[in-house]
């Protein structure tokens, strides 16, 4: 019986659904499937795992190199990875990303033992950094030694090609969430429950703009605040709801106080199975990132029927946001464009009529597994 091993950095609610679906697919094909996690979690992640993991998995011992600055960058090292792969002796290894030691060991092992190595990648050309420069030789090594590739979307595919990957060996598997979960939960969240949640948050305006994510500079939180303030000059009946934690949260609060910005509300970190409530009371999601591999909050918002404003650097924008139909794509680090885009959303009534759910259908995970199943065998 054939065996496939997946390498993934940490356990996350988003991936549990994907791996459960893959497990169902592989069982039908009589293929053994196992996920090897390099760590349980990371310091900047606060998820509680409330979802059943039906697939076989193992969590390796690890130590990590962490570089903290405007963001946290973690490089996991698992000393026992080579021995573990040798014991499992898979026919194929699928590695999510290349920013860990295990990916390079796995690529080397597959080449040495004439097994298949698949790189599942979301990186784009917009993630320029000193880390990218330093690791470039290793990245090119892993590209050369991959038998085939899975890309999160259009921009990830373009970047793989720029690094030397053969376009014919790349298939797109959109970075995705459980669409039905968000769609059904939001549709069944009653008007009375919405009213009570707004009351709890002390929001009294008729319109709400949502930001969901880490409150860090990379996410564009400062320009979002400025862009929101700019829109308020023409329409004061609007609130900004900020979900999440992050090192810039207190500074954002200071700016709000110093400039007397009205109607900005905060929550702490919201667990994954509660997020739909906040999408349900909102009219628009803004993800104004300066750097963003994909942006799964965009998928979540679209599944709940919201329009989205995001930047050209967010991978999801190229595949999931259609200008004037379900949102707008703007330049990063540009508060004026945020202000203008908010205006367009409400002028064109995209918060009432949009094709968000229709566009998102192409990211349905079970359908994607069946469409590109050849890459999994």
Q: Residues in the chain with pLDDT < 70?
A: 44, 46-47, 66-72, 128-134, 373-377
Q: Look at residue 180 and give its three-state secondary structure.
A: helix
Domains of the chain (ranges, CATH numbers)? 3-173 (3.40.50.2000), 179-362 (3.40.50.2000)
* pLDDT on residue 68: 62
* pLDDT on residue 374: 61
CA distance 289 to 216: 10
Is residue 305 within 8 Å of residue 186, measured between CB atoms?
yes
* pLDDT on residue 70: 59
* pLDDT on residue 377: 65
Average pLDDT, the chain: 93
* pLDDT on residue 138: 84
Contacts of 188 (CB under 8 A, 6+ apart): none
CA distance 94 to 376: 9
**Residue 290 host element (H or E):** none
**Residue 320 host element (H or E):** helix 315-320
Tokens 């988003």, residue located: 14
* pLDDT 10s digits, 154-186: 999 999 999 999 999 999 999 999 999 999 999
* pLDDT 10s digits, 219-244: 999 999 999 999 999 999 999 999 99
| Cα-Cα-Cα-Cα dihedral sign, residues 362, 364, 370, 373 | positive
């Amino acid at each position: 019986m054939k065996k496939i091993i997946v390498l993934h950095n940490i356990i996350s609610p988003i991936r549990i659904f994907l791996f459960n679906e893959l497990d169902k697919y592989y069982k039908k094909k009589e293929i053994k499937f196992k996920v090897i996690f390099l760590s349980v979690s990371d310091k900047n992640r606060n998820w509680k795992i409330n979802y059943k993991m039906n697939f076989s998995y193992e969590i390796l011992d690890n130590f990590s190199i962490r570089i903290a600055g405007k963001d946290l960058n973690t490089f996991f090292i698992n000393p026992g990875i080579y021995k573990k792969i040798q014991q499992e002796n898979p026919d194929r290894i699928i590695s999510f990303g290349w920013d860990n030691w295990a990916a390079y060991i796995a690529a080397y092992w597959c080449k040495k033992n004439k097994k298949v190595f698949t790189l599942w990648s979301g990186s784009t050309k917009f993630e320029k950094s000193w880390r990218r420069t330093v690791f470039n030789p290793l990245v090119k090594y892993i590209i050369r030694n991959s038998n085939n590739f899975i890309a999160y979307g259009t921009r990830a595919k373009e970047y793989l090609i720029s690094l030397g990957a053969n376009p014919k060996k790349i298939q797109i598997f959109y970075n995705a969430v459980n669409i039905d979960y968000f769609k059904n939960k939001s549709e069944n969240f009653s008007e009375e429950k919405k009213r009570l949640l707004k009351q709890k948050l002390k929001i009294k305006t008729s319109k709400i703009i949502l930001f969901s994510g880490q409150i860090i500079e990379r996410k564009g939180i400062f320009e979002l605040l400025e862009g929101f303030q700019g829109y308020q000059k023409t329409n004061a009946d609007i609130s900004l709801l900020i979900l999440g934690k992050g090192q810039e949260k207190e500074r954002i609060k200071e700016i709000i106080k110093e400039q007397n910005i009205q109607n900005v509300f905060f929550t702490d970190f919201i667990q994954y199975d509660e997020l739909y409530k906040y999408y349900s009371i909102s009219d628009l999601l803004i993800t104004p990132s300066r750097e963003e591999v994909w942006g799964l909050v965009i998928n979540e918002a679209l599944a709940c029927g919201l329009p989205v404003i995001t930047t050209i650097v967010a991978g999801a924008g190229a595949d999931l946001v259609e200008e004037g139909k379900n949102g707008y794509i703007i330049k990063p680090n540009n508060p004026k464009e945020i202000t203008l885009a908010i205006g367009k959303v409400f002028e064109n009534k995209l918060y009432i009529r949009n094709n968000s759910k229709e566009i998102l259908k192409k990211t349905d995970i079970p359908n994607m597994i069946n469409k590109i199943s050849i890459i999994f065998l």
